[in-house]
Amino acid sequence: MTTDLAPERRDTSANAPTKVAARVTDLVKTYGTGDTAVTALRGVSLDLNRREFTAIMGPSGSGKSTLMHCAAGLDSVTSGSVQLGDIELTTLKEKDLTKVRRDHIGFVFQSFNLIPTLSAEENILLPLSIAGRKPDRAWFDQVISTVGLADRLGHRPGELSGGQQQRVACARALVSRPEIIFADEPTGNLDSTSGAEVLGFLRRSVDEFGQTIVMVTHDPGAASWTDRVVFLADGKIVTELREPTPELILETMKNIDSNAKG
C-alpha cells in the first residue's frame, strides 16, 4: 500500500542500521526453583522485523505470554539475550529498563487497562504525560482519525464499547511512536466485529505508519491479519508461516496438536 502518511517515520526506519526491531536469542525462562520449577521457554531465538505484523500462536501454556513479557522487558530471563534495536535488555538496571519500556515499547493487553475516571483522550495521552513528553498534535490527530475515535475523545471508558475501548488502548500504545508494540490477545475479550475493527487498525498502523507489532492470539482468523505467524509448543518455536490464511493456520495448529499427543 502506498501512502503519504507519516513520511518522517518511514525515513527513520529506512535509515535504521538493521531491519530487526527486536531479537531474542537462546531465551530460557524458568519460573520457581527445585521440584516446583516450570521451564516456560526452552531456548527460543526469534527476530522480529521492523514494519511487520507478527502473530505468536500455540497451545495454552506453550509460553506465548512469557515470550512476550521477556521480549518486552516486563519479566527477567533465566538465560539468553533480548535486544531492542541495539539495546541489550537483560543487563539493564530496573531504572533504565523502565525508561526503555516507557520510551520505546507500546503495550496492548486483553483487558484494556484504561483508567475509568479519565476520558479517552486523557487515557491516550497518559503515558506521554507521565514521561513528561509533549504530544505531537499532528501525529495524535492522525492516530485518532485512523482509529476512528475523533467523536469519542471526551467519553470515559465506561461509555465506550469493548472494541472502542481497545482502539483507545491501541491509540495509547501508538501515540508515543514506540519501536515495537506488544499485544497479548488484544481481541480476546471482543466479539468478532469489534475484533475486526481492532485488527484492521493494527494492520493499518503497520502498513501506513511503519509500526512493528507482535500479537499473541488463539484465533486463526485474527492471526490471518498478520504477515507472519510463529508457532510455539512446549516452550520452543516449532514452525512459522508467512502470508498466513486461516486454513493454513488451522492446519498447522492441528499438526502441532497431533505431534504433541504423538
Applying CB under 6 A, the residues found at the interface with ligand ATP are 31-32, 38, 40, 58, 60-66
- Separation between Cα atoms, residue 105 and residue 12, nearest integer Å: 16
Q: How far is the CB of 60 from Mg ion (least distance, A)?
A: 7
Contact 177, 66 (CB under 8 A): no
CB of 65 to Mg ion, least distance (A): 3
What is the Cα–Cα distance from 188 to 128, expressed in whole angstroms?
26
DSSP state letter for 186? T
What is the enclosing helix (H) or strand (E) of 195? helix 192-209
The residue ranges that bind Mg ion (CB under 5 A) are 65
Q: Please, what is the minimum distance in Å from the beta carbon of residue 107 to ligand ATP?
A: 15
200 CB-near residues (< 8 Å, 6+ apart) = 225
Q: Minimum distance from CB of 232 to ligand ATP (Å)? A: 7
Contact 175, 125 (CB under 8 A): yes
Q: Name which of ligand ATP, Mg ion, none residue 63 binds, using a CB cut-off of 5 to 8 Å depending on partner kind.
A: ligand ATP
Judged by beta carbon, residue 54 or residue 62, the one nearer ligand ATP is: 62
Nearer to ligand ATP, 164 or 217 (CB): 217
Q: Find the shortest distance in angstroms from Cβ 1 to ligand ATP.
A: 31
127 binds, among Mg ion, ligand ATP, none (CB under 5 to 8 A by kind): none
Q: At what angle do helices 137-147 and 120-130 cross, to 10 degrees?
A: 140
Decide whether 2 or 60 has the Cβ nearer to ligand ATP. Answer: 60
Q: Which helix (H) or strand (E) holds 143?
A: helix 137-147
The listed partner (Mg ion, ligand ATP, none) that binds 83, CB under 5 to 8 Å by sort, is none
Compare residues 27 and 198 and give the one whose CB is closer to ligand ATP.
27
Interhelix angle 137-147/192-209, rounded to 10 degrees, is: 140
Using the minimum distance from each CB to ligand ATP, give the nearer residue, 68 or 147: 68
